[in-house]
Structure 1
């Protein structure tokens, strides 16, 4: 849940938006769930107007949709929509990686190196645990390091609008698909290797290589996401999917991008 002290300092519409967004991210409001303005207003302790405004914003971002004679429900992506999300990510993130090669700061290089190292350490923890897949706790740490790596590159590009778009796409693709399945060592190792190659290209100011490896990385992620989607469609549900709750500090950073607070 949101930090109460933070909520007191936040406008009501934004409070409502962050509250509903977090409930969707955590799995409390899964895809297909009907959203009640009245119930949410009672839960948060505010009038229905800011709730309505928040829902309108979430609808624009694709997290919820209006269904005639039924109301507002949490949106569920179909296969083609998910594929489109990854295609947009591929175009924008590969461009960002190319654009910052030779211009990235020493501080950002250090942060990217630390995030790569964190994924390597998590991979070793998984290997040493003798488990086949991440526990929910380690999965959260992995997602934070993975998403953080991409966010640093986007932030370094200086294009705030592109950062906001990709952030929303990443959240959407993780919420509405079986991408939240536990990751095995093969997937973790693959992510680490792609990140390391991208970072090496950035350090060498090789924009062409940075673009290439980012493109290949996202294409591989797309392949895995679609395979996972198909697998769960065949099963008829997603009961084995892990609930996703992105770290609050990362959510706050994403939410602040559009308002220019960072």
Structure 2
């Protein structure tokens, strides 16, 4: 893992976990010390996050965690749908048997996580399972997109998935609505 990737993962984890809230200033000096790297990989990670829509530059202040709203979530999912439909059109003619088996395995894991979330008794456990479901959802879609054999499309979809992961975490609390929606979506995936 490169130093930039290490810095990116650290910052992204703090955003996802809520330790870095919307509007929080990203100090490359502070983050570099915290991560144990120089400022350069931190700056590179921040620039990457800016291109992904996670960070914004504020004049006179510097980089801040972007305050994403519900319309951002809706636009992101609309973009995902457009890109993924195009990629699926390519993937269906190019997917291998091994890739199909992997997709089925991810579906099985997702359904198990959904059942565990349904039976979950604590908020912390619910969030843990919900995060697992989001990761599995991303893995399913990215594996399907890889089957399209288009690197540029995969990179763009990957960035959109990262943004949607942050947005979903901020917009939803695990519960019946998530379970109901998940069951319907994944039933279609399995087909």
Please indicate the TM-score interval, normalised by the length of the shorter structure: 0.7 to 0.9
What do residues 47-66 of structure 1 show as CA deviations (whole Å, max 9, x unaligned)? 32332233222222221111
CA contact (8 A) 2:57 2:63 kept: yes
Q: CA deviation at 1:132?
A: 9.8
Residue 182 (str. 1) matches residue 155 (str. 2) = no
Q: Secondary structure at the match of 1:46?
A: coil
Counterparts in 2 of 1:194 and 1:45: CA distance versus 1, 3 Å: closer
CA RMSD of aligned residues (A): 2.6
Larger Rg: 1
Q: Secondary structure at the match of 1:165?
A: helix
State the alpha-carbon separation in 2 of the partners of residues 47 and 131 from structure 1.
40
TM-score by length of 1: 0.63
Can you give the 5+ residue segments of structure 1 that lack an aligned partner in the other structure? Answer: 1-5, 201-262
**Residues 23-42 of structure 1 mapped to structure 2, 5 A cutoff:** 23-42=14-33
Q: Secondary structure at the match of 1:73?
A: strand
Residue 165 (str. 1) matches residue 184 (str. 2) = no
CA contact (8 A) 2:91 2:149 kept: no
Within the candidate set 4, 10, 13, 1:22 is matched to 13
State the alpha-carbon separation in 1 of the partners of residues 26 and 167 from structure 2.
16
Counterparts in 2 of 1:38 and 1:182: CA distance versus 1, 3 Å: same
Q: CA deviation at 1:134?
A: 6.4
CA contact (8 A) 1:134 1:182 kept: no
Q: Secondary structure at the match of 1:89?
A: helix
> Number of aligned pairs?
190
**Residues 48-63 of structure 1 mapped to structure 2, 5 A cutoff:** 48-63=39-54
Within the candidate set 71, 87, 111, 1:80 is matched to 71
CA contact (8 A) 1:123 1:189 kept: no
TM-score by length of 2: 0.83
State the alpha-carbon separation in 1 of the partners of residues 41 and 114 from structure 2.
43
Residue 142 (str. 1) matches residue 133 (str. 2) = yes
Q: Secondary structure at the match of 1:66?
A: strand
CA contact (8 A) 1:136 1:182 kept: yes
Counterparts in 2 of 1:123 and 1:175: CA distance versus 1, 3 Å: closer
Can you give the 5+ residue segments of structure 2 that lack an aligned partner in the other structure? Answer: none
State the alpha-carbon separation in 1 of the partners of residues 120 and 4 from structure 2.
44
CA contact (8 A) 2:70 2:171 kept: no
State the alpha-carbon separation in 2 of the partners of residues 137 and 70 from structure 1.
34
State the alpha-carbon separation in 1 of the partners of residues 144 and 63 from structure 2.
35
